[in-house]
Structure 1
Amino acid sequence: MKYNFDEIVNRRGTYSIKWDGGELIKKMGLTDRYDEETIPLFTADMDLPVPQPLIDALHKTVDHRIFGYTVFPDEYFEAVQHWFKKRHDWEFKKEDIIYSPGTVHALNVAVRAFTQPGDGIIIQRPVYPPFTSAIEANGRTLLNNSLINDENGYYSIDFDDFEAKAKDEKTKMFILCNPHNPTGRVFNQDELRKLATICMENNVLIIADEIHGDLIRQNQIFIPIAKAAPEYTDLIITFTAINKTFNVAGLHCTNVIITSPELRKTFNGVMGMHLPSPFTVSALIAVYHEGEDWLEQLKEYIDGTIEWAVNFLAEKMPKVKVRIPEGTYIMWMDFSQYGLTPEEVHDRIYNKANVLLEDGKMFGDEGLHHQRICIPSPRPMIQEAFARISREFEDLK
């Protein structure tokens, strides 16, 4: 079927964090202003309807009228295997798949399971804030291998620094984010193999957060690191999810791929048993078997929105440095050429324009002067948000 992603679906009154969580958002310090006119574009979920086969599957589950304790049928694991073989030419066994109620939950489990207090863990800032909290809240040592940002806003890996940190005997883990949040990089085969080789030579475990792997531009290729470096797969743990791809974050469905029986046993021992919701099982089977048509239309729509936004900024706000991300539905905007403090940029966007984004400083010092915007919303909503923002910077042309 043909999906209309321009449709505005009113999410207020549906317990949505971004649309109903104003008081919580203010307590978190994200903004001082939140009201009925706020356009919230800070969370990585979509304001777009999900695939019809998913809706049909959930209706069928509801119609059964009983929602008791739930197990995983073989069809669940087969659907996961089917998807990654077909979409990414990556194969693994049924027993390699471990369910987790969330990616951040799985990340914290991995940190506790495979490192000790004081051990070093490498991340690549600017990066998703829960990477930092998973390390620091568990008493581990954060080792920052900052990505290199060139004059065009393109990010690359500082391999010399990465190798130096990996060689430290206290370094036990590397958390990879690919596609990278918030920069939008999709790391290529050579980059992934080089990272894997350095880690394996120094006995550093790789935790790969690849939950944005299906959300890449039409001309890009995403390669799971376990596929890029198959000889090292027993020291790679991969996080996958339907949450981002199909806009079902509220169903809590992350799958952790661990090919090493020893690592799998350790991870399970720390995490403990987690049973799914019947809706989670129904959703995954539906989208992994019948969601491709929707996903291809979605990717085309998101590509169009990103292209529109980049052109709009070039015309209306040329001082904002931004590039088309290779993956994710996130745009990473550099406001440094305005000569304003990050606080002044924040005030113009969040309080005056009444558009809620995420301040770049949340992603590390490398994010100062940046703003992250999540754009998988109806294009008219995104256009209104950018129009509001641009008006607040007209005096600085």
Structure 2
Amino acid sequence: MKYNFDEVINRRGTYSLKWDGEELIKQAGLTERYDEETIPLFTADMDFPVPQPLVDALHKTVDHRIYGYSVFPEEYYTAIQHWFKKRHNWDIKKDDIIYSPGTVHAVNVAVKAYTDPGDGVIIQRPIYPPFTSAIEGNGRQLINNALFYNEEGYYSIDFKDFEEKAKDERTKLFILCNPHNPTGRIFTKEELNKLATICADNGVLIIADEIHGDLIRCDQTFIPIVNTTENPDHIITLTAINKTFNVAGLHCTNVIISNPDLKKTYSEALGFHLPSPFTIAALIAVYHEGEDWLEQLKEYLDETIQYVIQFISERMPKVKVTRPEGTYVMWLDFTGYGITPEEVHDRIYNKANVLLEDGKLFGEEGLDYQRICISSPRPIIKEALERIAKEFEDLK
């Protein structure tokens, strides 16, 4: 079927974090102003309806009228295996799949399972803020391998720095984000192989957050890091339907671990978790029948990204932005205006009444940046950009 991603659906009053979470958002210090006119583009979920086969599967589950404890059927595992073999040429064994009720939870479990207090964990800033929380909140040492940034806005890995930090005897873990949030980079096979090799040579485990791996530009290719090395025994991969199919509220992350010892350690640290019947039905439905929706979504996101780039070029040329290779987030550099990050924030959040995500949350490397999630119908994106541009007109 043909999906209409321009359809604007009112999410207020549906327990939505981004549209109904005024109190929580203010408590977190994200903004001072939040009201019925606020356009929230800060959190990485989508304002698009999910694939129809998913809706049908959930209706079938609802109509059964009993929602007790659930177990994973064989079809749950075969759906995962089929999806990743077809789309990423990745052969996953059933016994290597471990369910987790969320990706951030999975990262925290990994940090506690594979490191001790005081151990070092490498991340690559600017980076998704919960990685920092998972490290520092659990008493581990944050080791930053900051990404290089050139004049064209392209990010790359500082391998000399990475290797030096991997060799430090304190370093036990590396959390990889690929596609990278917030820069949108998809790391190449060569880059991933080099990271994997350095970590293997120095006894550093890799936690690979690949949950945006299906959300890539139509002309791009994503390669799981396990497919770039002959020995992936030191790699733990996080996958999820949450981002791909807009079902974050169903809490469905799958952790893929091929090393038996690492698998045992992780399972013991994770503890016992059962899924809801809705989670099971959702995964089976989207991995079997959601591909058509995803391809249409990717085309729509590509067009929105191009629109944002064109708009900024014409209306806010002092803002630097590049086309992300993956994800549905864009990383906006406001340095060209020559004003403080606080003033940038005030003009966008308080005056334009648009809620983005301040770059400082991603590390000091993001101080002059704003992250915008463009995973909303284009009319909403257009209105948000018009509001923001108006507040910067006096600085041309």
TM-score range relative to shorter protein: over 0.9
Cross-structure match for 2:189: 189
Question: Is 2:287 the partner of 1:288?
Answer: yes
Cross-structure match for 2:106: 106
Query: SS of 1:350's equivalent?
Result: helix
Cross-structure match for 1:315: 314
For the residues of structure 1 that align with 2:167 and 2:233, how far apart are their CA atoms?
A: 20
What is the 5 A alignment of 1:202-241? 202-229=202-229, 231-241=230-240
Cross-structure match for 1:121: 121
Matched to 1:178, the amino acid is N
Query: SS of 1:143's equivalent?
Result: strand
What is the 5 A alignment of 1:269-308? 269-308=268-307
Query: SS of 1:247's equivalent?
Result: coil
Q: Per-residue CA shift, 1:208-266, capped at 9, x if unaligned?
A: 0000000000110000001111x221110000000000000000000000001111110
Cross-structure match for 2:53: 53
Query: SS of 2:179's equivalent?
Result: coil
Matched to 1:277, the amino acid is S
**Deviation of the 1:146 alpha carbon:** 0.1
For the residues of structure 2 that align with 1:347 and 1:191, how far apart are their CA atoms?
A: 38
Cross-structure match for 1:341: 340
Q: Per-residue CA shift, 1:321-367, capped at 9, x if unaligned?
A: 00000000000000001001000000000000000000000000000
**Root-mean-square deviation (Å):** 0.4
Cross-structure match for 2:380: 381
For the residues of structure 2 that align with 1:325 and 1:305, how far apart are their CA atoms?
A: 12
For the residues of structure 1 that align with 2:231 and 2:381, how far apart are their CA atoms?
A: 42
Cross-structure match for 1:44: 44
Count of aligned pairs between the two proteins: 396
Matched to 2:7, the amino acid is E
Cross-structure match for 2:167: 167
Cross-structure match for 2:395: 396
Matched to 1:10, the amino acid is N
Cross-structure match for 1:19: 19
Matched to 1:171, the amino acid is T
For the residues of structure 2 that align with 1:143 and 1:31, how far apart are their CA atoms?
A: 29
Structure 2 unaligned runs (5+)?
A: none
For the residues of structure 2 that align with 1:269 and 1:359, how far apart are their CA atoms?
A: 37
Q: Per-residue CA shift, 1:159-199, capped at 9, x if unaligned?
A: 00000000011110000000000000000000000000000
Matched to 1:227, the amino acid is N
For the residues of structure 2 that align with 1:194 and 1:99, how far apart are their CA atoms?
A: 29
Matched to 2:323, the amino acid is I
For the residues of structure 2 that align with 1:232 and 1:121, how far apart are their CA atoms?
A: 21
For the residues of structure 1 that align with 2:362 and 2:164, how far apart are their CA atoms?
A: 23
For the residues of structure 2 that align with 1:339 and 1:286, how far apart are their CA atoms?
A: 49
Identity %: 76
**Deviation of the 1:95 alpha carbon:** 0.3
- The TM-score, its normalising length taken from structure 2, stands at 1.00
Question: Is 2:85 the partner of 1:88?
Answer: no
Matched to 1:390, the amino acid is A
For the residues of structure 1 that align with 2:28 and 2:199, how far apart are their CA atoms?
A: 36
Matched to 1:329, the amino acid is Y
**Deviation of the 1:44 alpha carbon:** 0.2
Matched to 2:58, the amino acid is L
Cross-structure match for 2:6: 6
For the residues of structure 1 that align with 2:228 and 2:299, how far apart are their CA atoms?
A: 26
For the residues of structure 1 that align with 2:154 and 2:172, how far apart are their CA atoms?
A: 28
What is the 5 A alignment of 1:346-365? 346-365=345-364
For the residues of structure 1 that align with 2:101 and 2:241, how far apart are their CA atoms?
A: 12
Cross-structure match for 1:266: 265
Cross-structure match for 2:66: 66
Query: SS of 2:142's equivalent?
Result: strand
Matched to 2:115, the amino acid is T
Cross-structure match for 2:366: 367
Matched to 1:118, the amino acid is G
Query: SS of 2:55's equivalent?
Result: helix
What is the 5 A alignment of 1:140-159? 140-159=140-159
Matched to 1:154, the amino acid is Y
Query: SS of 2:233's equivalent?
Result: helix
Q: Per-residue CA shift, 1:48-95, capped at 9, x if unaligned?
A: 000000000000000000000000001000000000000000111000
Query: SS of 1:390's equivalent?
Result: helix
Matched to 2:50, the amino acid is V
Q: Post-superposition, which runs of at least 4 consecutive aligned residues in structure 1 deviate over 4 A?
A: none
Structure 1 unaligned runs (5+)?
A: none
For the residues of structure 1 that align with 2:24 and 2:160, how far apart are their CA atoms?
A: 42
For the residues of structure 2 that align with 1:196 and 1:234, how far apart are their CA atoms?
A: 10
